[in-house]
């Protein structure tokens, strides 16, 4: 018989399943911190998230080196893995939408501030060397264009 016994399959997939559960938990915590406007607290989760991502990559590489899910059998461990992966993807999608929304809000806020600075600069007038009032004809604003 070439199939792995269920306990071997379960033992092989357990670390990956646990890593996915832990990553789901960390991403959920990050989402909660962003929703409650505490982004500075994200920093404390970063080491754990980096460790879990490294573990996830290692576990996925091992899974691929062993022939993927097809070689792992069709037991309950695979069903659990698929279920946890769907949950993780859902949490990750919500987190991504929130980060994009916050990014858009920040960009709009910077643009509004920039527009207000331009209006203020245009209102101010200065006396030139010849004694006449000069206006700032070329107002500038700060634009940040960074992809996260």
**13, 56 Cβ separation under 8 angstroms:** no
Q: What is the pTM of this model?
A: 0.71
Rounded Cα distance between 23 and 100, Å, is 20
DSSP H or E stretch at residue 131: none
| pLDDT tens string 45-76 | 999 999 999 999 999 999 999 888 877 766 88
> How is the chain split into domains, by residue range?
7-102
Rounded Cα distance between 24 and 76, Å, is 20
Helices 6-35 and 76-123: crossing angle in degrees, nearest 10, is 20
- Going by the DSSP 8-state scheme, the letter that residue 146 receives in this structure is -
Residues in the chain: 148
Among 50, 71, 67, residue whose Cα is nearest residue 4: 71
Lowest mean pLDDT among 28-42, 51-65, 96-110, 132-146: 132-146
Rounded Cα distance between 9 and 5, Å, is 6
**141, 118 Cβ separation under 8 angstroms:** yes
Sequence-ordered strand ranges (E) for 29-124? none
| pLDDT tens string 117-131 | 877 766 556 666 776
- The residue with tokens 């890593």 is 19
| 26 has a pLDDT exceeding 70 | yes
Among 4, 10, 16, residue whose Cα is nearest residue 77: 10
């Amino acid at each position: 018989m070439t199939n792995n016994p269920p306990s071997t399959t379960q033992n092989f997939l357990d670390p990956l399943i646990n890593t996915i559960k832990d990553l789901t938990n960390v991403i959920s915590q990050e989402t909660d911190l962003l929703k409650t406007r505490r982004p500075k607290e994200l920093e404390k989760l970063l080491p754990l998230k980096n460790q879990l991502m490294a573990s996830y990559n290692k576990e996925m590489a091992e899974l691929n080196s062993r022939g993927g899910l097809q070689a792992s059998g069709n037991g309950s461990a695979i069903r659990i893995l698929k279920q946890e992966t769907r949950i993780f993807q859902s949490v990750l999608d919500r987190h991504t939408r929130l980060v994009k929304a916050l990014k858009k809000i920040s960009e709009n806020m910077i643009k509004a501030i920039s527009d207000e600075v331009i209006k203020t600069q245009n209102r101010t007038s200065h006396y030139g060397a010849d004694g006449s009032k000069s206006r700032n004809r070329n107002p500038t604003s700060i634009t940040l264009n960074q992809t996260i």
